[in-house]
Structure 1
Amino acid sequence: MRLGIISALHEEQQGLVEAMQGPQKRSHGMRDFTLGTLWNIDAVCVLSRLGKVAAAMTASILVEKYAVTHIVFTGVAGSADPHVNVGDIVVAEALLQHDMDARPLFPRFEVPLTGLQRFATDLELSTQLAGAAKDFLRDELAKVIQASERQEFALQHAQVHRGLIASGDQFISSAMHVKQLKADIPDLLAVEMEGAAVAQVCFELGVPFTVMRTISDNANEEAAVDFMRFVQTVASPYAFAVIQRLCQRLAG
C-alpha cells in the first residue's frame, strides 16, 4: 500500500509532514509532494489547494506519477444537517457535485458520460477511517484540544457520522443556500469544495479512496467568522490524530 493524503490547506495537514520518517520532497504541477513513511505506512502528503479542479489534478498526479494505491482526503466542511454539529466528523460514504447541472442533456447532479450522480467511497478504507475517528473522539479529544477550545466550540459531545458529502466551487455562507441544497438532497450531511472531484478521479482510475471532514461551521452567514482559528486549533489536531490511528490500523 502507498497512501496518498490530500488536504486543501496547509493548516489541515500540519504535523503530518513533520511526523514522516525519511521524508523526500518532490515538486510537480506547482505542488509540493512529501514522500516517506507514516506510522509504518508508505505515504505521500500533498496540498491540493481549494476547489474541484485543483483537487482533481492533485489526485491524478498522486496516482499517475507517485503510484499511490489508496487516497484519503482530510479537511473541514460546513454542516448541511441539523444533527451534524461543529466539531463532529463526517466520513463520506458517497460524494456528489452539488453544482453539476447539465440539464436537459443529463439529469441534475449526474456527471456526464458516467451515468453517476454519486461516487461511493471504498467501504473497507472508510470503515477503518471511521473507526479511527471514533477512537480519537473517545480517547484523545480532551488530550489534544485545549479546554478553552472545547468549551468555545462545544466539542464535548462530538461524534462521527457516515453518509453523503457534496462538493462545489463555492464557499457556502448562506443559510438559505444550504436549506435549498438539503431540500434537493435530503440525505446530505456536509458541504465542501474538493471531495467529489477526488471521488470522480479515483472512480475513473480504479483507486480506493475515502474522505474525512471535520465540521467547522453551519454553512451560514457566520461560516467565515472563526474559520481559520478553528482549522488551526481543532481541525488540524483532529486530522493528525485520526490519520495516525488510521495508519496504525492499516499497518496492523
Structure 2
Amino acid sequence: MHGPVAIVAAMHEELSALLAQMPDEQRVRVAGRDFWVGHLQGQPVVAVLSRIGKVAAAVTATVLLERFGVRAVVFTGVAGGLAPGVRVGDVVVATELLQHDLDASPIFPKYEVPLMGLSRFVADRAIGDALSGVAAGVLRDPVALTGRAAVEEFGLQSPKVHRGLLASGDRFVSTTAESEALRRDLPDALAVEMEGAAVAQVCHDYGVPFAAMRTISDRADDEAHGDFARFVSLVASRYSLALVGAWLATLPAVS
C-alpha cells in the first residue's frame, strides 16, 4: 500500500519533538491546520496536530485521508488512567476505541454510533502489536528515555505497556466521581482521552488502518489538574518521539 504514514500528535510539544527529527518537512496548510510533509526514520510521513476534541480530530483525520492519501494513521498523545494498575508513565496501545459520551438511547443502544450498528472501533492489530513491541523495549530504561529527574518526579521506575479499550469524550475527566462512573459503566476501559474514537471512526469509514498509543499522564481523578504541561514536556513528548521513531524504523524501506 502506497502513501505516507500519518503521525497525529495531541499536544504541541509532541508535534514539535517529531518535527525536530524531520530533515525535510514542508508545511501544507489546509482547513486552518498545518500539515507537515516529509520523512521520519526514512519513511514518508505527514505529521499534524489533531487539535482537542472529537470534532476537531475528525476533521484532521478526514483531511489526512482525502488530501494526503495516507496509508495508515497513528495517534500519539496522553490519557488519564482508569483501570487498576494503569499508572502515570505507562503506555496504553488501543485494541478498541469507544465514545463514552455518545448516547442516542432509547432509539439506539448507549455508545452505539447511530446508523452504523457499532459502538467500538477496532484498532489495527498489526500496527498495535508492533507499537506494543517497541514500547516494551523502549520503556525498559526510563532514565535513558526521560532523564533521572523526571523518573523521580513522576514515579516512572517501572513503566508498563497495556493493551485494551480507550474511551474518548468531549470533556477532560478530572474528578474522582467522573472516573469512578466511567469505571462502573465501562469496566474494561483502560484509559480516557478526547480524540481517539473519532479518528478511529473516520478511518473505519475510509478503510484505512488506525492505531492509538497514549501515555498515561494522570489517573483522571481529583489530582488530574497537577502539572500537566510539565509532564507533557518532560515525559510524554519524549515517549512519543522514541516510540514513533522506533516503530517507523521497523517498517520496510520505501523506494
- TM-score in terms of structure 1 length: 0.97
Instruction: Tell whether the 8 Å contact from 1:33 to 1:46 is kept in structure 2 after alignment.
Output: yes
Residue-by-residue CA offset, 1:15-69 (whole Å, 9 max, x unaligned): 2112113211100001001101111111000001100000000000001001101
Aligned-partner SS, 1:114: coil
- TM-score in terms of structure 2 length: 0.96
1:89 to 88, 91, 97: 91
Report the counterpart of residue 166 of structure 1 in structure 2.
167
Looking at structure 1, the residues matched to 131 and 205 of structure 2 have their Cα atoms a distance apart, in angstroms, of 22
Residues matched between the structures, number? 251
Looking at structure 1, the residues matched to 145 and 175 of structure 2 have their Cα atoms a distance apart, in angstroms, of 31
Looking at structure 2, the residues matched to 15 and 231 of structure 1 have their Cα atoms a distance apart, in angstroms, of 11
The one-letter amino acid paired with 1:71 is V
Shift of the alpha carbon at 1:224? Answer: 1.6
Which aligned pairs between 1:105-116 and structure 2 lie closer than 5 A? Answer: 105-116=107-118
Residue-by-residue CA offset, 1:53-87 (whole Å, 9 max, x unaligned): 00000000001001101000000000011210000
Residue 237 in structure 1 maps to residue 238 in structure 2: yes
Shift of the alpha carbon at 1:6? Answer: 0.6
Residue 80 in structure 1 maps to residue 82 in structure 2: yes
Looking at structure 1, the residues matched to 252 and 227 of structure 2 have their Cα atoms a distance apart, in angstroms, of 36
2:9 to 1, 7, 10: 7
Residue-by-residue CA offset, 1:200-221 (whole Å, 9 max, x unaligned): 0000010001000000000011
Instruction: Tell whether the 8 Å contact from 1:216 to 1:230 is kept in structure 2 after alignment.
Output: yes
Residue-by-residue CA offset, 1:126-163 (whole Å, 9 max, x unaligned): 1111111111102x422131211101211011000000
Worse-superposed segment, 208-217 or 174-183 = 174-183
Instruction: Tell whether the 8 Å contact from 1:14 to 1:240 is kept in structure 2 after alignment.
Output: no
Worse-superposed segment, 142-151 or 55-64 = 142-151
Report the counterpart of residue 118 of structure 1 in structure 2.
120
The one-letter amino acid paired with 2:134 is A
Q: Which runs of 4+ in 1 moved over 6 A?
A: none
Change (3 A) 1:145 1:38: same
Shift of the alpha carbon at 1:14? Answer: 2.6
Looking at structure 2, the residues matched to 189 and 20 of structure 1 have their Cα atoms a distance apart, in angstroms, of 32
Aligned-partner SS, 1:162: strand
Instruction: Tell whether the 8 Å contact from 1:59 to 1:198 is kept in structure 2 after alignment.
Output: yes
Instruction: Tell whether the 8 Å contact from 1:74 to 1:211 is kept in structure 2 after alignment.
Output: yes
Structure 2: stretches of 5+ with no match in the other structure? none
Aligned-partner SS, 2:163: strand
Report the counterpart of residue 181 of structure 2 in structure 1.
180
The one-letter amino acid paired with 1:163 is G
Identity over the aligned pairs, expressed in percent?
50
Which aligned pairs between 1:1-252 and structure 2 lie closer than 5 A? Answer: 1=2, 2-138=4-140, 140-251=141-252
Aligned-partner SS, 2:24: strand
Looking at structure 1, the residues matched to 153 and 146 of structure 2 have their Cα atoms a distance apart, in angstroms, of 11
Shift of the alpha carbon at 1:124? Answer: 0.4
Looking at structure 2, the residues matched to 70 and 197 of structure 1 have their Cα atoms a distance apart, in angstroms, of 15
Instruction: Tell whether the 8 Å contact from 1:40 to 1:251 is kept in structure 2 after alignment.
Output: no
